[in-house]
Amino acid sequence: MDPFKEKERLKIVNIVNFIRLLEPRDAKITEDVLYETVVKQVEMMKKYKLGGTFLLQYDALLDPRYQKLLKSLSPDDFEIGAWWEIPQPMVEKAGLKWRGRYPWDWRADVGFSTGYSTEEREKLAKVVFLKSGNKAHMVKVNTGIADDSYMEIKSGIKPSDEVISGSYSAISRKLKEGAKVAYDKEATK
């Protein structure tokens, strides 16, 4: 094979970066460490002119740092998406029994929607927290069409509702019905 002709062939590479706020396997890997890792990935990809895809778990999607960083990327070079990964607190809040080894388990039958029945997935996606005055209020949502990966939310919230967002630990572990909440001054700047 002629090595010069090899260079003429089209080669496509897509770098996929999964972003989450939780890493239970090592206590030294904090939310800040995970964020700084993504910042470095973006810097390297720009330096070497490598496009790519960033897929955010729901907790990272709500973090203002990631929102700001990823909004700054060119849509011509980068693709942004989300994926539905299922951590322990989400399962327990839905009234289901956690089957994993860690608070986030990467095995498909535990950490991803494909490991749950349609009825279980409906329970997992049926609650959001809204800000009502200075308190958190859990609201049930109605779901529509569902498959192994996606679920439609048909009703339960309206555009003017203030959906509470925050770090993984704040939303999944600490937030309870009736808890007092306030705006994060950093997020509202």
pLDDT band at 22 (very low <50, low <70, confident <90, very high): confident
Closest of 171, 148, 185 to residue 61, by C-alpha: 171
3-state DSSP of the chain: CCHHHHHHCCCCCCEEEEECCCCCCCCCCCHHHHHHHHHHHHHHHHHCCCCEEEEECHHHHCCHHHHHHHHCCCCCCEEEEECCECCHHHHHHCCCCCCCCCCCCCCHHHHEHHHCCHHHHHHHCCEEEEEECCEEEEEECEEEEECCCCEEEEECCCCCCCECCCCHHHHHHHCCCCCECCCCCCCCC
Residue 106 or residue 30, greater confidence: 30
pLDDT band at 163 (very low <50, low <70, confident <90, very high): low
pLDDT, position 60: 78
Backbone angles phi, psi at 88, to 5 degrees: -55, -50
Lowest-confidence segment of 15-19, 94-98, 123-127, 133-137 by average pLDDT = 123-127
pLDDT, position 171: 58
pLDDT, position 65: 92
Find the radius of gyration of the CA atoms of the chain: 19
In terms of pTM, does the model score above 0.75?
no
What does the buried/exposed string (b/e) look like for 62-75 if buried means 16 or more CB atoms within 10 Å of the residue's CB?
A: bbebbbebbeebee
Give the pLDDT confidence of 67-108 residue by residue, as tens digits.
899 989 998 999 888 777 787 877 887 788 999 998 878 888
pLDDT band at 168 (very low <50, low <70, confident <90, very high): very low
